[in-house]
Amino acid sequence: MPDQIGYLGPAGTYTEQAALLYAPDAELRPYPTISAVGAAVVADELESGVVPIENSLEGSVTFTLDLLIAESGLSICNEVVIPIDHYLVAPPGVSADTVEVIYSHPQALAQCRAYLGEHFPTVTREASLSTVAAVIDMQASRVPAAAICPQRATEIYDVQVIAQSIQDNSANQTRFVALAHDDHPPTGHDRTSISFAFAIDRPGNLYHAIGEFSERNINLVKIESRPTKQELGRYIFLIDCEGHREEPAVAAALHGLREYADVFKILGSYPCWEPSAG
């Protein structure tokens, strides 16, 4: 029986494309939201679930970060990186000059900001749950509408293509992660993601925490913060570093960091994505 892999649906999303690369022989199951994918993994409905976590133009997907921070039963076990190529579509017979609203996922709308500003400066932009849900929203619209979606969606739904490759940057890429109960064994070419917070804000907290990695010559590939949602001005820090949590140097750095932080969680160790792996 093939593995059950969930993804942010419906069928035709970039996340489905990433899930196909991650597990081409699995049975793929779409879910309407990132949190629904995570809940299905926690409930053992799925072996793993694929969700977006970072875009090269717009940065992190906060829904995924918040899910990883809050949910103790989830770890990152793998990652997939794919190029993003946005299409602008409309129902058959709807011309571009009659469009009154454009639907898409907030990330896609942001990634096409320049194109939309030039060609549709006065048209309303509406957020959808995904780039394919945008097509469904467009089809249900009571006024002439368009949607920004993946190329794959143009093959699944009855739409006409108005324009393609409308993203602001041709180097647009999104990183997706596979969520499971456990992370991945060491491969020799890994990344580790962690989150941590301080109960009391003191000078040097973050400096000393990051120093644990510098002292051991461990490269940090990403650092950012998210609000704790408990008090204004309090933050949870998120770090990605090179190496696996079981490697001695990384393990020592994590142990040292744990001494400074009052809240600490390893979000997972997993293989770094290589295009040849897909």
The residues annotated with a catalytic role in the active site are: 174, 176
**Closest by alpha carbon to 34, among 14, 63, 72?**
63
Whole-angstrom Cα distance, residue 120 to residue 117? Answer: 6
Does the bond joining 10 to the residue before it have cis omega, within 30 degrees of 0? yes
Whole-angstrom Cα distance, residue 123 to residue 88? Answer: 14
Place of tokens 């949602």: 229
The amino acid sitting at 107 is: Q
Whole-angstrom Cα distance, residue 243 to residue 188? Answer: 7
**What are 241's strand-pairing partners?**
192, 220
If one counts every other C-beta atom within 10 angstroms of the C-beta of residue 51, the result is 28
Place of tokens 């093939």: 2
Whole-angstrom Cα distance, residue 44 to residue 57? Answer: 34
E strand or H helix at 253: helix 248-260
Whole-angstrom Cα distance, residue 103 to residue 147? Answer: 5
E strand or H helix at 90: strand 86-90
Given a contact cutoff of 8 angstroms between Cβ atoms, the answer to whether 171 and 120 are in contact is no
